[in-house]
Chains A and B, each alone.
Chain A
Amino acid sequence: MPETTQGPRAPSGFNLPDFPAVKKSVIDSQIWRSIFRGGIWKDTPRDRAAHVIGNVWLHLHPVRVRPRALEWTYTWGLGGISFLLYLILTVTGVLLMFYYRPTVELAYRDMKDLEFAVTLGTFMRNAHRWAAQAMVVFVILHMVRVFLTGSYKKPREFNWGVGVLLLTLTLFLSFTGYLLPWDQLAIWAVTVGTNMAGATPLLGNEGPFGSLLGMRINNDVRFTLLGGTIVGENTLVRFYVLHCVAVPLLVGALLILHFWRIRKDSFSAAPRDPNEEKVEVWPHLVVREYIAAAACTLAIMVWSIWMNAPLEVEANPNVTPNPSKAPWYFLGLQELLVYFDPWIAGVALPGLIIVGLMAIPYLDTNPKGIGFYSWKDRAFANTQFLLGVAMWFILIYIGYYCRGPNFAWFWPWESWLTQQPPPPPTWNVFGPKGDAVLPTWLGVLALGGGGVLAIVGPKLVQRDLSGKPLCLGFAGLMALVAIGAHFIGHLAWLQGFWLVMFSVLYFYFGFVLPQRHIRSLEWPRYVITMFFVVGMMSVLLKMGARLGFDIKYVFTLPAFNLNI
């Protein structure tokens, strides 16, 4: 560095370099100028705009945004943090690949090497694991934020759909990565997950109508996923390639699309006052982004030093740990599998959740509440969405804290060592003689009629009903029914409690709310919306039927493998 001018003299007599002059000479050098575009920085609005436009890293930002978009309490930085975690996962993932070989012989040994023999191996693995879990959390939170601020509404419907795909792929990345350590947790989570694929209707060997299409254990969709009939060598390589190459590339492509559409559709934040000035992205937004990124990176580092990623004993394809639990973000799904056949819980319900989420912007045509948090204007949409999210997390809670050995129900305060009576025998309501209590035709009539009534009912009452007396009245009625059934029949008190609780929940969310809020919607949108609402509430009802009344299937047709 050339000493250009006589620098300020330090009191001690040493010559300190003249930093501003050094900086100037560096910035004015040909090398710097060739790397960073733009002329001499005068910190004018033009400079700040040029800085965003002329920088490949920053150019997806607009030049100016609404002041609200800068507020922590509007975006919470959730989308940006999700992207940062994706970058951290890419870097740590690539580093781990240097020491990992995806074969049944070597995979688990390499995990042990990473743990004990590789410098920083444990740290990198921890960071990869914790960043992955954090990414699942932040992507979900980002979705909730976007929903609550109405940011998916016109013209951003398509980008919401891209976001739903990204959420799905985030979970799929977690799932494929889960097999790679080749420990007991890995192999059994993937065995269960891929067997769900085997239960896909038509395409799986154990799914409804699968045998009609000639599906066998060695030619169905599960066989493709596994590359064999068991979780083995081929499966490990397939998941490795999906996890390290195929899915990250797909996610990257969708991320570019996602960001591009945010830029083109503009930030959702609404103006606080109609004549407000927009704020410059550089430095205001960029600084906030960097602070959030630095804080999150630091948090992941601290977490990775503090806590080690779990690693169980080496995979044994013949013996399952007891209890065997999926990673927490799939525990809700595992809990659903207790109540429904695999093709419903593992294929149909997740599919409906994804399709339902993507359909939201096209169903919710309410023009109010875009770009800010509003409850009053969007009571119905917010309540139903948050109910869905809450149900997902309640299922996770049950799976995590209320399931013990043999996946039996243990309350969180009960020791897993206490003797539990084995679960009582289950029974079916509607179905062929011998399989169920009531005949099939009655079931078709009851479920079909009940379903149609549940969907159409709220729109048939066009008067403005008052919610509170209606709910209290219904709860009282159900309580009377429960009490009557206790004394006349042999309904236990706990069963009565389940009956009242689940039916009142259904009544409020499935009838009162739609009646009050969406009865004026035109028929097609109304019916589709109600289909998803009633579907969500039916899951709740089925859970109540199993937990309270040991009902295995409400409706069963064993000949077609069709059990609901």
Chain B
Amino acid sequence: MADIIGPSSGTSQQAATPEANQPPAASAAAAGPRPIAAKPAGQVSRRDFLWLGWASLIAFLGSSAAATARFFFPNVIYEPSQKFNAGPAESYGEGVDLRWLNEQRIWIVRTPPEHEQGPGFYAVWARCTHLGCTPNWFGDQGRFRCPCHGSNFNLNGDVIAGPAPRALWRCAVEVTATGDLMVDKAILQDLPGLREKAPFFARHDA
């Protein structure tokens, strides 16, 4: 601490001013910025040292807080696999199939040959794009209707009514060589134009 210059008790006339730790040569310009050149080379003033101390303390506390915040983000999560075998493609009839709703939260839709994309499959993730509830399929109305805030979607998954901001997500589907339908809920698409193509639509002739 010996190389720190403090306000000298001898220069009482200057000690009363806020710029008390300046050498006498700078006292005329006390109102202006402190002339750095006046400081002896290689020495840090007490004020600058304190600023450095406070800055380090704040940096330390800030980075500790950030590190603690990072603590709340788990690195490994134990959640079920998003990919599943939905059984033989041939077991599905045309239209919306609800058999995987309870276990996998998926509607499998089989399109008829006269459909604009031709015959095949797409899988809709049964998660409302509003706040994540599971809608119900109403075949007579041709709508998916959400029980939480009343969003309505048509068979394509597009929003008809209610607060949902975007269409229902579709999942990647494929018909394997063994004739099974594989669904991967980790690969999602909701844009018209893309969602009608592979891997979000699996063409399958009966």
User: What is the interface of chain A, defined by CB distance below 8 A to chain B?
Assistant: 188, 191-192, 195-196, 199, 218-219, 223-224, 227-230, 232-234, 316-324, 334, 337-342, 346, 403, 405-408, 422-426, 550, 552, 561, 563
Q: In the complex, A223 Cα to B79 Cα: how many Å? A: 13
In terms of DSSP, what is the predominant structure of the interface of chain B?
loop
B136 and A342 within 8 A (CB): no
Question: Residue among A324, A346, A563 with the most chain B CB within 10 A?
Answer: A324
Cα(A321)–Cα(B150), bound, Å: 13
Question: Given the complex of chains A and B, what is the CA–CA distance between A223 and B75 in angstroms?
Answer: 11
Q: Does B101 contact A (CB under 8 A)?
A: yes
Nearest chain B CB to A223 CB, angstrom units: 7
Whether A191 pairs with B126 at a CB distance below 8 angstroms is no
A318 and B78 contact, CB distance less than 8 A: no
B161 touches A324 (CB 8 A): no
The answer to whether A324 touches B103, judged by C-beta atoms less than 8 angstroms apart, is no
Within B77-115, the residues touching A (CB, 8 Å) are: 77-79, 101-105
Cβ-defined partner of B147 (8 Å) among A224, A232, A407, A550: A407
Contacts of B141 in A (CB 8 A): 422
In order of increasing CB-CB distance, the 5 nearest A-B pairs are A407-B150, A322-B147, A423-B161, A406-B145, A195-B131
What total of A-B pairs shows CB separation below 8 Å?
112
A-B contact pairs, 15 of them (CB 8 A): A188-B133, A191-B131, A228-B77, A234-B74, A318-B126, A320-B133, A320-B134, A320-B146, A320-B148, A406-B136, A407-B146, A407-B147, A407-B149, A408-B150, A563-B165
Known: A318-B102, A318-B134. 8 other contacts (CB 8 A): A192-B133, A224-B72, A227-B77, A232-B79, A338-B149, A403-B150, A408-B150, A552-B163
A-chain residues with CB within 8 Å of residue B104 when the two chains form the complex: 318
Q: Are A192 and B132 in contact (CB under 8 A)?
A: yes
Most B Cβ at <10 Å: residue of A407, A408, A552: A407
**Residues B56-80 near A (CB distance < 8 A):** 72-74, 77-79
Residues of chain A lying within 8 A (CB to CB) of residue B105:
317-318
B143 is an interface residue with CB less than 8 A from chain A: yes
Chain B, interface residues (CB within 8 Å), range? 20 to 34
Structural contact, A338 and B133, CB atoms closer than 8 A:
no
CA distance A320 to B130 in the complex (A): 14
Binding site for A on B (CB under 8 A): 72-74, 77-79, 101-105, 126, 130-136, 138, 141, 143, 145-150, 152, 160-163, 165
- Say whether, besides A195-B131, A339-B163, A228 and B147 are in contact (CB < 8 Å): no
Main SS class of interface, A: loop
Given A320-B147, A406-B147, residue A337 in contact with residue B126 (CB < 8 A): no
| Inter-chain contact B133/A324, CB cutoff 8 Å | yes
Contact A424 B161 (CB under 8 A): yes
Contact indicator B145/A422 (Cβ below 8 Å): yes
Are B126 and A324 interface neighbours, CB within 8 A? no
| B161 and A422 form a contact (CB under 8 A) | yes
A422→B103 CA distance, assembly (Å): 28
| Residues of chain B within 8 A of A230, CB atoms compared | 79
Which residues of B have CB within 8 Å of A406?
A: 136, 145-147, 150
Chain B residue, CB-CB nearest to A550 = B161
Per the bound structure, the CA–CA distance linking A243 and B103 in Å amounts to 30
Known: A337-B131, A407-B146. A318 touches B74 (CB 8 A): no
Question: In the bound complex, do residue A196 and residue B131 qualify as a contact, i.e. CB atoms below 8 Å apart?
Answer: yes
Complex alpha-carbon distance, A408 and B151, angstroms: 9
| Chain A neighbourhood of B103, CB < 8 A | 318
Check A405 against B152 for contact (C-beta < 8 Å): no
**Distance (Å) between the CB of B86 and the closest chain A CB?**
14
On chain A, the residues within 8 Å of B162 by CB distance are 338, 407, 423, 426
Chain A residue with minimal CB distance to B143? A422
